[in-house]
Chains A and B, each alone.
Chain A
Amino acid sequence: MVITIDGRKCEFTAGQTVYEVAKANGIHIPVLCHHEQIKPVGACRVCVVEVEKARSLVASCAMPAEDGMVVHTSTPRVLSSRKLSVELLMTQGHHNCITCESSGDCVLQDLAYSLGIESPRFDNPETYRKLEDANEMIVRDMNKCVLCGLCVRACNEVQVNQVLDYSGRGPRATVGPAFGLTYENSDCVFCGECVRVCPVGALFEKQGRFQGRANDLMKVRTTCAYCGVGCQMDVNVKENHIVKITTPREGVPAPNYGSLCIKGRFGYDFVDHKDRLTKPMIRVDGELKEATWDEAIAYVAEKLSTIRKEHGPDAVAGLSSARCTNEENYLFQKFFRAVIGTNNVDHCARL
């Protein structure tokens, strides 16, 4: 089956939306409330396109492609509607980019810029809502919420934690836990999926606040340090300091496809904790005293040699680590078997 988008014939399979077909063919349609892992709702109207013979503009993210459909993605009618939608989103709250954590990584900012919206035609609301930052992990700035609903849908459809929902109507419409509770006092388990999918600066990582934004940060892709799922994540670094852990909104590979849990997303700050060991230590007169590497290695080597000589290699044992890398575990058992000469090597797989 084929549809025509901006004059190009595009093949598609049943069930694909107009937006998906366009994306697969390299045709850009901007989206805001859309996410590849979440059912489309067509709420923000940013992705509208003109479909020949349709009565009105249609939301391409929610419109299934039909054979023979002819679509135009950037007619004056489309652009004018898109601009109006973005202007309305911009005036729904207070979008102060100057100190916003999402500046440089914000869908609304990019839309306003690409559509050339110098300043919206409408007034901002007079009320300014207090930030919710009572917990140690997530800050909610509802002044910047555009009610795209991605946080609600990610909470229910991706993580299935069923904590967030919509409430209120009209200008009082909002998103959050039931009964207007804070995250802290709700059933929220701080997986941070809502922060990941938020396209604006309404939800952000508390400990990374004022530590660096998209353009200041180097992202290093790695595997989570905690359980055996092996989630892929990006360590965001500035000046040799971990600012936050993030996963891209879309396009993250197996096994986690961008989802994390509280430990993976917010449990990284042990890395530069003041208790970190920084120097080798040797016990002298009952107390651990700092030593040089050379002294410490010489001490261990000599003791191991003596014990092996006097009592045999099986008087030595090693506990390796399910926390260390494959390379380190390989070397550890090789050391015990090939250098010490014992198979007394185990790790806490049982514990």
Chain B
Amino acid sequence: MTNSITDLGESDCYLITGTNTTENHPVIATFIKRAVTQRGAKLILADPRNIELGKFAAIWLRQKPGTDVAWINGMMNVIISEGLFNEKFVAERTENFEALKATVSKYTPEYVEKISGIPADDLKKAARLYAKSGASAIVYAMGITQHINGTDNVKSLANLAMLTGQIGRPGTGVNPLRGQNNVQGACDMGCLPGNLPAYKKVTEDADRKPFEDAWGVSLPDKAGLTIPKIIDAAASGAVKALYVMGENPMMSDPDVKHVEKALKNLDLLVVQDIFLTETGNLAHVVLPTAGWGEKEGTYTNTERRVQRIRKAVDAPGEARPDWKIITLLANRLGANWKYASAEDIFEEVRKVTVSYAGITYGRIEKQGIQWPCPNTEHPGTPILHSVAFTRGKGLFSVCEHIDPAELPDKEYPLLLTTGRILYQYHTATMSRRSKGLVSRTPQPFVEIHPDDAAKLGITHGDKIEVSSRRGSIEVYAEVSGRCDKGVVFIPFHYSEAAVNRLTNTAIDPVANIPEYKVSAVKIRKVA
């Protein structure tokens, strides 16, 4: 997030898109709901599903899945043509405005309506509300990113914020909500194939040098493979060994059949986890680890706040913290690591990660600190880009609408979109082992519009088969108005009906994110 969670409570206007916030970030949703109900803040919701936040929305834009660049360009078209953009901000803090202007000129509300299904008048109202409000915040999540043009979707939102100067101040910003407890930290720590800690590039000599000095080795200078490419390389035999720590690609990756084939082709699959996952079932070696509540360390949340986790109970049996296992293995392979505690490791992190340099366990004993925090006197940074952008001037990117990789057709007439629900979590290894959570959502389901259900003779609670070109699963029908006609939604938590058996492996060329939000399926009632 460019801004902070607390700060979201101060916005005058929200543009919320691709995040079912009340279900997936419920506590962040409370800040937004309070602002709307208690302070009169206005909410613009852009979501293909009729989610809970719709009840709080002043304007609901129901775009067809996969048309985000179009409607965001459309908002900018209205803002520019009605003179509502922030001339001063554009002049002083951005570049490439003329190219943006030229690109969005064809995205008139009427043109956008044809692509996205959003009524032209609603789009105009939304554009005016977002541009004119004192402080407007954009909030998004995987509904924006999990498309073959996910990168363009994000750039378009950034364009919109820069065009209106709705960034760098309290209550504004471009705020991605990160879905996992420490996905921000895993990225910050360099668990990305092209990035060392603090987003230093593996391909840049100057970026690599400090790490080579600190670690006393020379480092590889070629960017590595992203997950989808690792899976492909395992299938082709180029990757022979895969070490998986606390991940479950057999549930979380697209086209599970393909993943299974790839993992079975490995000479060595190591899975280090707290439960025997679907992926662990295929492993050559399984290593038991201490989980949350059983070890010390830090997580970094979606607002870049580095916070402590603490040991409350002992890990079961011989399970050990992941950092101890990695240290054992490294030393067995000739390293000479001497970490005695999580804090020891964090002290090394501080030395090589400039954004974390000022953060110590002592300083975050009671309250976390938001990076960048360059020294121990620095209070942390609640709002990014208040004076300048990372690259200096903000660059308007030119983005054009493209169709999703796989759209419904005669054979597969429905558009499938996937995601999470309030009562389960990701691949559900934890949440389906929790009594309370299981009691709320015991079985896999598909949300389907009443008209589509009626056409197929399906009633609420029926068992139905959903198939794509890649596979099929059986789920129970949840007939409701949440999805539009022609669209169905299935959560990806249920291994007995893993929706990623159906999803498409098409990926965004830059971020390599799979297009989980759009694929084509057909359904039938199971006799």
Chain A contact residues, CB within 8 Å of chain B: 135-137, 157-160, 189-191, 207, 218, 220-232, 235, 237, 240-242, 253-256, 259-264, 266-273, 275-283, 288, 293, 296-301, 303-305, 307, 311, 313-335, 337-351
Q: Which residues of A contact B313 (CB under 8 A)?
A: 235, 237, 240-242, 271-272
Name 16 extra pairs, CB < 8 A, besides A270-B429, A276-B317, A328-B326: A227-B181, A227-B425, A229-B25, A255-B5, A263-B425, A269-B433, A269-B435, A276-B316, A317-B243, A322-B182, A322-B185, A325-B297, A326-B189, A338-B335, A342-B224, A349-B192
B488 at the A interface (CB under 8 A): no
Taking a contact as CB atoms under 8 Å apart, the answer to whether A318 and B309 are in contact is: no
Q: Which residues of A contact B326 (CB under 8 A)?
A: 328, 331-332, 335
| Chain A residue at smallest Cβ distance from B301 | A230
Taking a contact as CB atoms under 8 Å apart, the answer to whether B345 and A327 are in contact is: yes
Q: Quick one: which of A207, A228, A253 has the most chain B CB within 10 A?
A: A228
Q: Give the complex CA separation of A304 and B513 in angstroms.
A: 28
Interface segment, one of B247-255, B402-410, B475-483: B247-255
Taking a contact as CB atoms under 8 Å apart, the answer to whether A237 and B312 are in contact is: yes
27 contacts across the A-B interface (CB closer than 8 A): A190-B436, A218-B312, A225-B181, A227-B24, A242-B312, A254-B368, A255-B4, A255-B27, A261-B27, A269-B433, A270-B434, A277-B286, A278-B316, A303-B241, A305-B333, A318-B242, A322-B181, A322-B185, A322-B186, A326-B186, A326-B189, A328-B245, A331-B323, A331-B326, A335-B326, A347-B191, A351-B516
Which A-B residue pairs are the 4 nearest by beta carbons?
A278-B317, A230-B301, A325-B297, A321-B246
Q: Which residues of B contact A218 (CB under 8 A)?
A: 312
| Chain A residue at smallest Cβ distance from B321 | A328
In whole Å, how far is A121's beta carbon from the nearest beta carbon of chain B?
41
Q: Give the complex CA separation of A330 and B313 in angstroms.
A: 24
Q: Give the complex CA separation of A282 and B183 in angstroms.
A: 29
Q: Which of B182, B247, B288, B334 contacts A339 (CB 8 A)?
A: B334
In whole Å, how far is B7's beta carbon from the nearest beta carbon of chain A?
10
In whole Å, how far is B432's beta carbon from the nearest beta carbon of chain A?
8
- The answer to whether residues A345 and B224 also contact, given A230-B368, A318-B245 and a CB cut-off of 8 A, is yes
Taking a contact as CB atoms under 8 Å apart, the answer to whether A319 and B243 are in contact is: yes
- The answer to whether residues A288 and B283 also contact, given A316-B241, A322-B182 and a CB cut-off of 8 A, is yes
Q: Quick one: which of A240, A259, A321 has the most chain B CB within 10 A?
A: A321
Taking a contact as CB atoms under 8 Å apart, the answer to whether A191 and B514 are in contact is: no
Taking a contact as CB atoms under 8 Å apart, the answer to whether B436 and A262 are in contact is: yes
Q: Give the complex CA separation of A277 and B291 in angstroms.
A: 11
B134-192 contacts to A, CB under 8 A, are 145-146, 177-192
In whole Å, how far is A312's beta carbon from the nearest beta carbon of chain B?
10
Q: Quick one: which of B193, B321, B348 has the most chain A CB within 10 A?
A: B193
Taking a contact as CB atoms under 8 Å apart, the answer to whether B37 and A231 are in contact is: no
| Chain A residue at smallest Cβ distance from B289 | A277
Taking a contact as CB atoms under 8 Å apart, the answer to whether B38 and A157 are in contact is: yes
Q: Which of B202, B332, B439 contacts A136 (CB 8 A)?
A: B439
Q: Which of A160, A191, A321, A325 contacts B342 (CB 8 A)?
A: A325
In whole Å, how far is A160's beta carbon from the nearest beta carbon of chain B?
4
- The answer to whether residues A266 and B310 also contact, given A254-B6, A307-B240, A326-B185 and a CB cut-off of 8 A, is no
B294 at the A interface (CB under 8 A): yes
- The answer to whether residues A191 and B26 also contact, given A321-B245, A339-B334 and a CB cut-off of 8 A, is yes
Taking a contact as CB atoms under 8 Å apart, the answer to whether A319 and B244 are in contact is: yes
Chain B contact residues, CB within 8 Å of chain A: 4-6, 22, 24-28, 30, 33-34, 37-38, 145-146, 177-194, 196-197, 202, 211, 215, 217, 219-220, 222-228, 230, 233-234, 238-247, 249, 252-253, 267-268, 270, 273-276, 280, 283-289, 291-295, 297-303, 305-314, 316-323, 325-330, 332-335, 337, 339, 342, 345-346, 348-349, 366-368, 422-423, 425, 429-431, 433-437, 439-440, 511-514, 516
Taking a contact as CB atoms under 8 Å apart, the answer to whether B30 and A159 are in contact is: yes
In whole Å, how far is B2's beta carbon from the nearest beta carbon of chain A?
15
Q: Give the complex CA separation of A347 and B285 in angstroms.
A: 19
Q: Which residues of A contact B253 (CB under 8 A)?
A: 351
Q: Quick one: which of B178, B186, B334, B430 has the most chain A CB within 10 A?
A: B186
Q: Quick one: which of B179, B294, B346 has the most chain A CB within 10 A?
A: B179
Q: Give the complex CA separation of A281 and B228 in angstroms.
A: 27
Q: Which residues of A contact B301 (CB under 8 A)?
A: 223, 228-230, 255
Q: Which of B252, B314, B349 contacts A240 (CB 8 A)?
A: B314
Q: Give the complex CA separation of A241 and B314 in angstroms.
A: 9
| Chain B residue at smallest Cβ distance from A265 | B436
| Chain B residue at smallest Cβ distance from A159 | B30
Taking a contact as CB atoms under 8 Å apart, the answer to whether A280 and B5 are in contact is: no
Taking a contact as CB atoms under 8 Å apart, the answer to whether B440 and A262 are in contact is: yes
Taking a contact as CB atoms under 8 Å apart, the answer to whether A267 and B437 are in contact is: yes
- The answer to whether residues A324 and B322 also contact, given A230-B307, A350-B513, A351-B253 and a CB cut-off of 8 A, is yes
Q: Which of B190, B219, B512 contacts A330 (CB 8 A)?
A: B190
In whole Å, how far is B91's beta carbon from the nearest beta carbon of chain A?
35
In whole Å, how far is A69's beta carbon from the nearest beta carbon of chain B?
28
Q: Which residues of B contact A136 (CB under 8 A)?
A: 435-436, 439
Q: Which residues of B contact A322 (CB under 8 A)?
A: 179-183, 185-186
Q: Quick one: which of B196, B283, B293, B328 has the most chain A CB within 10 A?
A: B293
| Chain B residue at smallest Cβ distance from A341 | B220
Q: Give the complex CA separation of A275 and B278 in angstroms.
A: 13
Q: Give the complex CA separation of A340 and B291 in angstroms.
A: 25
Taking a contact as CB atoms under 8 Å apart, the answer to whether B299 and A326 are in contact is: yes
In whole Å, how far is B278's beta carbon from the nearest beta carbon of chain A?
13
Q: Which of B28, B247, B295, B306 contacts A347 (CB 8 A)?
A: B247
- The answer to whether residues A254 and B286 also contact, given A190-B436, A330-B348, A346-B192 and a CB cut-off of 8 A, is no
| Chain A residue at smallest Cβ distance from B298 | A326
Q: Which residues of A contact B6 (CB under 8 A)?
A: 254-255
